[in-house]
Chain A
Amino acid sequence: MSDAAKKPLLEVRNLRTVIDTAHGTFPAVDEVSFVLERGAVLGVVGESGSGKSMLALSLLRLLPGKGRIESGEALLDGRNLRALSEREMRGVRGRRIGMIFQEPLTSFDPLYTIGDQIAESVRKHLGLKPRQAREKAVELLSTVGIPRPDLACDEYPFQFSGGMRQRAMIAMALAPDPELLIADEPTTALDVTIQAQILELLAKLQRERGIAVLFISHNLGVIAEIADEVMVMYGGQVMERSEVVRLFDAPAHPYTQSLLEARPALDRAPSRLRAIPGQVPSLESRPAGCPFHPRCGRAMDICSRARPSRSFLGSGQEVACWLQGAGNAFQTHARASGAGGES
């Protein structure tokens, strides 16, 4: 126990998840590394297609059909999740790592009651009898602020509103007491007022239970409210990783800077939003070198040729950009151009 406590809860090293398509194999998550300590909240931000969700699904080993983890490792308490058998992995899913999904509408089986769907994971992981599992489900529904939880327990998902469903989803993910919660865009599908409530609930439960959270969102404002640290992803790669206040105060990567400038803000003149020119490249048309270079205002010659390695800027901030310390690129150069050759 004391030995496990010294290790970080989750350590991801050079994780690379690829998708096999008719046109070849393409990386959806490309050499991602990070550490998540117990009880900490790491925000993952990026536009659609940046590989955030694929990262989450890779950690649970629940990739859709054509996706597979190609290399790297994900260590939970020092145990490599990639090395576990499928049976052992089922003991990790739900029990050690809970997950909240984006769409509360389609995330429940429409044919079973909310209570049944919470109870089924409690029964598996905590070995409770049906009656005790139901009591636990009622208790959890009450914890997440569902009114009249004993009645709600026997209701079906279609009888719940979107916000209520997302609350129930949180209850379901927390039911077997996981140490790590992956929240993949948990507020994106909700109204703004409901978003704030759900965010507040998540932050409260996170504090009370000391649970670590990997919080995925495309919304920097949401991330700022809940995360301790932020990881900015683009094209399957980590562009920048930093403590949250520092990221907003001193963004080091041009992509992070453009993201911050693209936010609508009430305290600025109601001028036009400054959008980032161009589009997120599709999986099959990722450029060689730094994936952001075609849209980057400060791109240099080398950016299109070689992928920058990570530079550490002190106080935990790390950035992958040629504008910062251009020294140690050669180790990644060969593979970066190799991967580019496929597209």
Chain B
Amino acid sequence: MLRFFLRRAMESLITIIVIVSVVFLVLNLSGDPIRMMASPTASAEEVAELRAAFGFDKPLVLRYGDFLAQISRLRFGDSISTRQPALRMVLQRLPATLLLAFTALAIATILGIPLGMLAAVRRGKAADTAAVLVSMMGQAMPVFWIALLLIFVFGVMIPILPPSGYGTFAHLVLPSISIAIFLLAGIVRVTRASMLEVLQQPFVTVVRSKGLEERIVLFKHALRNASIPVLTQLTLQMRFVIGGSVVVESVFGWPGVGQLLAQAAYGRDYPVVIAATFFIALFILAFSMMLDLAYGLVDPRVRIWH
């Protein structure tokens, strides 16, 4: 168990270093932040002064070294636009993003797994066709489109939910559903396929031959076996949840890390982009580590603490 955590921690560290390095490089190749900060009328001396103040006068390699040294102490620097510490800005907005992500995940899992099971058990019947169709649509529609559609229908046409903002439960509904629909589609598809495969396996007939109820066949035996690919699907989709949250938070004015990241990227606010990316990466890594532990709970063959 401890060895597993140490190994995963090492892997995660390397992953994060690679991620922030790529972000650093891309940001530095994409343009000069000082030009955007300085007023158009600023003189060359004033620009140079600003540049020196933020350390942009040094060569890239030196700046990269400084950057890694600072990051390793969780010093992300101050935001170029607000002059507040980037770390604090990100941490303030993290709870809103986590709330959104986990609500979407919960909706998608709680609805998706039973729907996928139902489709598999009623293979070829109306319920199955409907589930497959809905799942295809859910995966084909871009998240921003779903979000706009939901705002239009439930915020404007039938105004029962606030189209944007943050603070109450009602505000959470539309953004989390926007993300959940995409997730749900994937979970239904994978659960259905995986259930169909498990139900073909000889041990299912063996369980039935013991005279056990179909309830036990499906929920105790088939579902647990079928849930392994679903866990993999969740791990893979978590990054889309975060990607989706950048879009969805912007559309709904949801004050999360995603919205902050989008704004910071527009404004070439390097410290904030780096800090936001860092925490998003950290979150995805922690989430996939949790799911790896969940594999062990489901499947004794991969129990890593043995």
Q: Determine, out of A11-19, A34-42, A91-99, A314-322, the stretch whose residues face the partner at the interface.
A: A91-99
Kindly report which residue of chain A lies nearest to residue B205, judged by CB atoms.
A62
Residues 276-304 of B at the A interface (beta carbon under 8 Å): 298-301
Residues 96-133 of A at the B interface (beta carbon under 8 Å): 98-99, 101, 103, 106-112, 120-121, 124-125
Kindly report which residue of chain A lies nearest to residue B301, judged by CB atoms.
A158
Of B205, B216, B221, which one neighbours A101 at CB under 8 angstroms?
B205
- Number of A residues, CB within 8 Å of B: 29
Q: Given known contacts A110-B225, A158-B301, is B203 in contact with A125 (CB within 8 Å)?
A: no
**B213 with A90: CB separation less than 8 A:** yes
**B210 with A121: CB separation less than 8 A:** yes
B58 on interface, CB distance cutoff 8 Å? no
B207 on interface, CB distance cutoff 8 Å? yes
Kindly report which residue of chain B lies nearest to residue A97, judged by CB atoms.
B209
Residues 179-196 of A at the B interface (beta carbon under 8 Å): none
**B211 with A94: CB separation less than 8 A:** yes
Kindly report which residue of chain B lies nearest to residue A60, judged by CB atoms.
B209
Across-interface contacts of B224 in A (CB, < 8 A): 111
Cα distance A98–B210 in the bound complex, in angstroms: 7
**A101 with B208: CB separation less than 8 A:** no
Kindly report which residue of chain B lies nearest to residue A107, judged by CB atoms.
B206
Cα distance A126–B203 in the bound complex, in angstroms: 22
Kindly report which residue of chain B lies nearest to residue A61, judged by CB atoms.
B208
A244 on interface, CB distance cutoff 8 Å? no
Across-interface contacts of B221 in A (CB, < 8 A): 109, 111-112
**A156 with B300: CB separation less than 8 A:** yes
1/0 per residue, CB under 8 A from A, across B215-227: the answer is: 0100011001100
**A106 with B300: CB separation less than 8 A:** no
1/0 per residue, CB under 8 A from A, across B193-212: the answer is: 00000000111011111111
Residues 20-41 of A at the B interface (beta carbon under 8 Å): none
Q: Given known contacts A156-B301, A158-B301, is B211 in contact with A109 (CB within 8 Å)?
A: no
**B209 with A95: CB separation less than 8 A:** no
Across-interface contacts of A94 in B (CB, < 8 A): 209-212
Q: Given known contacts A101-B202, A107-B203, is B211 in contact with A95 (CB within 8 Å)?
A: yes
Of A60, A95, A109, which one neighbours B207 at CB under 8 angstroms?
A109
**B210 with A107: CB separation less than 8 A:** no
Kindly report which residue of chain B lies nearest to residue A57, judged by CB atoms.
B205
Across-interface contacts of A107 in B (CB, < 8 A): 202-203, 206
- Counted as pairs of residues, one from A and one from B, with CB atoms less than 8 Å apart, the total is 71
1/0 per residue, CB under 8 A from A, across B170-211: the answer is: 000000000000000000000000000000011101111111
- Number of B residues, CB within 8 Å of A: 21
Q: Given known contacts A111-B225, A156-B301, is B209 in contact with A106 (CB within 8 Å)?
A: no
**B210 with A93: CB separation less than 8 A:** yes
Across-interface contacts of A110 in B (CB, < 8 A): 203, 225, 299-301
Name which of A57, A91, A120 has the most chain B CB atoms within 10 A of its CB. A120
**A121 with B211: CB separation less than 8 A:** yes
Interface of B is mostly: helix
CB distance from A95 to the nearest CB of B (A): 6
A239 on interface, CB distance cutoff 8 Å? no
**A93 with B300: CB separation less than 8 A:** no
1/0 per residue, CB under 8 A from B, across A155-195: the answer is: 01010000000000100100010000000000000000000
Q: Given known contacts A106-B201, A106-B203, A111-B298, is B209 in contact with A90 (CB within 8 Å)?
A: no
Cα distance A266–B299 in the bound complex, in angstroms: 47
Across-interface contacts of A169 in B (CB, < 8 A): 206
Cα distance A176–B209 in the bound complex, in angstroms: 12
Across-interface contacts of A158 in B (CB, < 8 A): 300-301
Kindly report which residue of chain A lies nearest to residue B203, judged by CB atoms.
A109
Kindly report which residue of chain A lies nearest to residue B224, judged by CB atoms.
A111
**B203 with A120: CB separation less than 8 A:** no
CB distance from B124 to the nearest CB of A (A): 10
Across-interface contacts of A95 in B (CB, < 8 A): 211
**B211 with A106: CB separation less than 8 A:** no
Of A62, A91, A108, A176, which one neighbours B203 at CB under 8 angstroms?
A108
**B300 with A111: CB separation less than 8 A:** yes
Across-interface contacts of B201 in A (CB, < 8 A): 106
**A93 with B211: CB separation less than 8 A:** yes
Cα distance A95–B221 in the bound complex, in angstroms: 20
**A90 with B299: CB separation less than 8 A:** no
**A92 with B202: CB separation less than 8 A:** no
13 contacts between A and B (CB under 8 A): A62-B209, A101-B209, A109-B221, A111-B298, A111-B299, A111-B300, A112-B221, A121-B210, A121-B212, A124-B211, A124-B213, A125-B211, A176-B211
- What 8 pairs between A and B have smallest CB-CB spacing? A94-B211, A93-B211, A121-B210, A94-B210, A99-B209, A106-B202, A90-B211, A107-B206
Besides A109-B203, A158-B301, 6 new A-B residue pairs in contact (Cβ under 8 A), listed by A number: A90-B213, A94-B210, A110-B299, A111-B299, A124-B211, A158-B300
Interface residues of A (CB under 8 A from B): 57, 60, 62, 90-95, 98-99, 101, 103, 106-112, 120-121, 124-125, 156, 158, 169, 172, 176
Interface residues of B (CB under 8 A from A): 201-203, 205-213, 216, 220-221, 224-225, 298-301
